Amino acid sequence: QVQLVESGGGLVQAGGSLRLSCAASGRTFTIVAMGWFRQAPGKEREFVADISWSGGNTYYVDSVKGRFTISRDNAKNTVYLQMNSLKPDDTAVYYCAARSSGPSGSGFNAPTFYDYWGQGTQVTVSS
């Protein structure tokens, strides 16, 4: 089993920055990739970014490309999401997820690819 705990959410003004963290524990040696999803009120959960655990390959949804950066610290079993130039449309609950199955690599944008999920952290961007 893998447990994921997100942190770093909060309220920021448009144009500001926020850094999310997700710490993994348990059987972390099984993780092949981690990703971030978000869910805004009244909308479906959507893929934001993911990163392969070994190679560090990354992939981003078009709406955050150039503004968000996903990274990982393998020694700390932690993945980060640096969010810059935040917009009100970025407001959502952000979820960390981990894959222990399937091939290594990035671009796994469907929630069904992921085996473990964090509880979510709220990000609110005011205008």
How many percent of the chain have pLDDT more than 90?
99
pLDDT in tens, 74-111: 999 999 999 999 999 999 999 999 999 999 999 999 99
**What is the model's pLDDT at position 32?**
96
pLDDT band at 42 (very low <50, low <70, confident <90, very high): very high
DSSP one-letter code for 114 = -
Lookup: tokens for 64:
């955050």
How high is the mean pLDDT of the chain?
Answer: 97
The residues, ordered by sequence, that sit 6+ positions from 111 with a Cβ below 8 Å of its Cβ are: 37, 45, 47, 97
Question: What mean pLDDT do residues 100-123 have?
Answer: 96
User: Which runs of E-coded beta strand occur in 1-127?
Assistant: 2-7, 10-13, 18-26, 33-39, 46-52, 58-60, 68-73, 78-83, 92-99, 116-117, 121-126
DSSP one-letter code for 102 = S
